């Protein structure tokens, strides 16, 4: 798979994951909400590490400069 996540997109995803993890640790939320926030944080981290967002694929969307310049 070609990477479709650019540098700024990766940075935003990592920041959102860190914010989500911080909220779970600091704020007293119901357990189901904690699980949902942690799952989203894990997805953001995973997609930023591999550089591919599965939700971008069906729409042929990319924030990666290399790929957008080829289209």
Residue linked to tokens 């357990």: 31
Provide the pLDDT for residue 71: 53
Provide the pLDDT for residue 1: 79
Structural domain of residue 26, as residue ranges?
Answer: 7-70
Total domains, the chain: 1
What average pLDDT does the structure give for the chain?
A: 91
Residue 50 lies in a domain: yes
Residue 49 lies in a domain: yes
Q: Which of 46, 48, 38 is nearest to 9 (CA)?
A: 48
Residue 2 lies in a domain: no
Intra-chain end-to-end CA distance of the chain, in Å: 16
Provide the pLDDT for residue 68: 54
């Amino acid at each position: 798979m070609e990477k479709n996540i650019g540098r700024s997109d990766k940075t935003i995803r990592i920041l959102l994951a860190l914010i989500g993890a911080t909220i779970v640790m600091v704020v007293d939320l119901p357990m189901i909400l904690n699980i949902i926030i942690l799952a989203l944080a894990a997805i953001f981290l995973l997609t930023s590490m591999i550089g591919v967002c599965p939700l971008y694929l069906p729409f042929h969307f990319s924030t990666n400069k290399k790929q957008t310049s080829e289209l």
